Structure 1
Amino acid sequence: MDLTAALAAHRLVAIVRGADPEGALNTVLALVEEGVGLVEVSLTGADALTVIARARKALGPDAPLGAGTVLTAEDARDAHRAGADFVVTPGLGDGVRAAHDLGLPVLAGVFTPTEIIAARAQGVAALKIFPAAQAGGAEYVKALRGPFPDAAFVPVGGVDESVARACLAAGAIAVGVGSPLVGDAADGGSLDALRDRARGFRAVVQEGRR
């Protein structure tokens, strides 16, 4: 898949990390039904690989589905076998290289300019700025775009609706959102509340298109 194009089209990556595999699966499916086109299932969630495999079967072969918190080469291989078609990493570990070898595009975690340069040299599709909200949010994104005007930045970490709005306005290609969007749904909580939050975030990411 062309992850950069998908990020530009959807502008939102939902991050699902849950203690209840059934709840996590239902969360993925509900998000997609609400029009959240890019969903990442973190490998730190309970039985995450099974969640990915079941979501892939339910969604079919064409729906984008990512594996998050990919640290090692084995993580990347496991994610590929489960049906993920992109991976998200918290940093520049062995999972980046292995994902490339498997043909999986990578949203790689970076923070400093040095890490950005290293990630781009490795051919990553986009750059996950983490933790975003705790490190200045939109102002940090804006500062990074000075030396890296064409970089595909995806702020992640503490991104609520207001932070998402500001980061997108500052030039981020998309935002990654976990608990402010997912809440307790991946732990078996309310899917109705999840759907309401999804509509709110979808409205935010559409604002810049008007």
Structure 2
Amino acid sequence: MDLTATLATHRLVAIVRGGDPDAALRTVLALAEEGVELIEVSLAAPGALSVIERARTAFGPDRPLGAGTVLTAEDARAAHSAGADFAVTPGLGDGVGAAQELGMPVLAGVMTPTEIIAARALGVAALKVFPVAEAGGAAYLKALRGPFPDAPFVPVGGVDEDLARACLAAGAIAVGVGSPLVGDAADGGSITALRERARAFRKVVEEATR
């Protein structure tokens, strides 16, 4: 898949991480039903690989499905075997190269200019600026775009509706959203409330794309 182009088209990545694999799967499926096209399942959550496997079965082969918190080469191989077709990392560990060798494009975690240069040299598909809220939010992203005006930045970490709107306005190719979107749904919380939040975030993205 062309992850960079897909991010530019859909502009929202939902990050699912919860303590209940069945609830996490329901969350993934509900997000998909609400039109969230890019979903990552964090490997830091219990049963994450089974969630990816079952979601892939439900989606079929063509819908994008990511594995998050890919730290090691073993993580990348396991995620690929489970059916993930892109990888999201918190940094530039061994999982980046291993995922690319398997044909999985990578959204790689960076924070500093040095890390951005290193990630681009590795040929990653996009740059996950993490944790953006703690680092200065949209102002920090705007500052990074000075020396890197064409870099495909995806701010992640504490991205609520307001910060999503500000980051997209500041030039982010997409935003990655975890708990402000997923809430407690992946732990067994309300799917109805999840659907409402998904619609709200999709509205933010649609408004930013006009």
Same fold at TM > 0.5:
yes
Identical columns (%): 80
Pairing 1:33-112 to 2, within 5 Å after superposition: 33-112=33-112
- TM-score relative to the length of structure 2: 0.99
> Which secondary structure does the structure 2 equivalent of 1:124 belong to?
coil
Instruction: Please tell me whether residue 147 in structure 1 is matched to residue 147 in structure 2.
Output: yes
Pairing 1:55-204 to 2, within 5 Å after superposition: 55-204=55-204
Cα deviation for residue 46 of structure 1 reads 1.3
Cα displacement string for residues 180-209 of structure 1 (whole angstroms, at most 9, x for unaligned residues): 000000001100000000000000011122
Cα deviation for residue 144 of structure 1 reads 0.5
Letter of the 1:137 counterpart:
G
1:25 matched residue in structure 2: 25
- TM-score relative to the length of structure 1: 0.99
Cα displacement string for residues 136-163 of structure 1 (whole angstroms, at most 9, x for unaligned residues): 1110111101100110000000000000
Letter of the 1:12 counterpart:
L
Letter of the 1:55 counterpart:
A
Distance in 2 of aligned mates of 1:139 and 1:36: 26
Letter of the 2:123 counterpart:
G
Letter of the 2:60 counterpart:
G
Q: Is there any run of 5+ residues in structure 1 with no aligned partner, and where? A: none
Cα deviation for residue 91 of structure 1 reads 0.2
Distance in 1 of aligned mates of 2:209 and 2:91: 31
Distance in 2 of aligned mates of 1:67 and 1:100: 13
Cα displacement string for residues 103-150 of structure 1 (whole angstroms, at most 9, x for unaligned residues): 100000000000000000000000000000111111011110110011
Distance in 1 of aligned mates of 2:113 and 2:194: 35
Distance in 1 of aligned mates of 2:104 and 2:186: 25
> Which secondary structure does the structure 1 equivalent of 2:91 belong to?
coil
Distance in 1 of aligned mates of 2:174 and 2:137: 13
Distance in 1 of aligned mates of 2:4 and 2:89: 15
Where does structure 1 differ by over 6 angstroms across 4 or more consecutive aligned residues? none
Distance in 1 of aligned mates of 2:172 and 2:208: 11
Q: Is there any run of 5+ residues in structure 2 with no aligned partner, and where? A: none
Distance in 1 of aligned mates of 2:45 and 2:191: 18
